[in-house]
Structure 1
Amino acid sequence: MIGRRSRRVAAGNPAEDLIKSLYAEHGRSLLDYATRLTGDRAAAEDVVQETLLRAWKHADALRSGVGSVRGWLLTVARNLVTDRARARAVRPMEVNQPVDVPAAQRDHADTVVDTMTVMGALDGLSAEHRAVLVELYYRGRTVNETAAVLGIAPGTVKSRTYHAVRALRAQLAQSLGQSGEVRR
C-alpha cells in the first residue's frame, strides 16, 4: 500500500512526482538493503536507481494500491542484485578485478605488499621457471605463445609451469610466517 505522502502525490501529479515521493519515503531503507546485499555502496546506489527507474515504468501498478510498495521495491532490488551476480558469474573475470575481496575492503598497501612478496619469491626461482611464469601469468600468453617466445616445446612449457608453481608456493611459504605476515 502506498504511504500517505505517496498517495497524495499519486492523486494528481505525474509519475516523476510519485518516484520522488517513493524515494523520499523508501530510499534510505532501499539503499541500506541493497548495500547489505551487494557489500558495495556504489553498486547499491546503482541498484536503487534501477529499482526506481522500474518503479517509474510501472507507476500505474504502484498507484493501484494493491500490495505493499516497499515489498515491491525490495523485491525488485533483490532481483536486480541476483541478476547482476548471475551476469558476473558467466562473464570472464576482468583483469584488475579482485577475486573475492570487494574493492572497498582492499587496501592499496596490501596490494603493494602482496606484489613485493610475489616478486621476491619469483627472484628465488630458476631463470627457466621464472621465464615461463612471467610469460604465462604476467604477459597473459597462451602455452603455445609462450613456447614460441621461449623457443621450447609446449609440453616443456606445461612441465615447467607445474614445477615453477610448486617452487613458487614453496618460496612463498618460506617467506610467510605462521600468522601470514611477511618475514623480514
Structure 2
Amino acid sequence: MAVATPDSDLRTLYDAHAGELFAFALRTLGERGAAEDLVQDVFLRAWLRAETYRPERGPARGWLFAIARNLAIDTARARSARPQLAAERVDETGSRDSEFEQIEQRIVLAEALGRLTPDHRRALVEVAIRERTVSEAAAVLGVPPGTVKSRVFYALKALRLGLEELGFGAEE
C-alpha cells in the first residue's frame, strides 16, 4: 500500500493543475518562458508553504490560482520597475499602455474565461482563438455544428457578463 507524502501530494496537484496554470500564465504574461517560470514558482511556493492551505476554504485549485495571480502581479510590477528591460507597446490609437495594465487586463480576461463552463470555453477557444470554422470546431469537439454555434453564442454572452462583473464592462 502506497503511503501519501507531501511530495506525492504535490505531484498529484501538479498533474491535475499544471496545464491549466500554464494556460493562465501564458494568457496573462504573454511569454512562454515567463509562463513556465510562473508555474514552477507556483508549485515551489505551494510546496514551501503547504501548511497555509486550508481545505475548508475551498479546493486546492483555487489556492494554486491565487498564488499564480499574485505571482503574475509581482512579475508585472517587477517589469514596470525596470522599464529599460520591458518593451513599450503602442496600441492602435497611439497611446502607450503600461505593461502592468496589459497584464492586469489579461488576468481579468483569464478570470472571466475561467468562469465559463468547460464546453463553452472549448468551443470559444476553437472558433475565436484557433480561428477554426464552425464545421472544423465541430469535428474537433465531436459535436454538431449547431451545438458549436450555440456554445460560442452563450460563451460570448457569459464572457461579456463576466468581464462586466470584473470591472471591464462597456464604457459609456
> TM-score band, normalised by the shorter chain?
0.3 to 0.5
Q: TM-score, normalised by structure 2?
A: 0.46
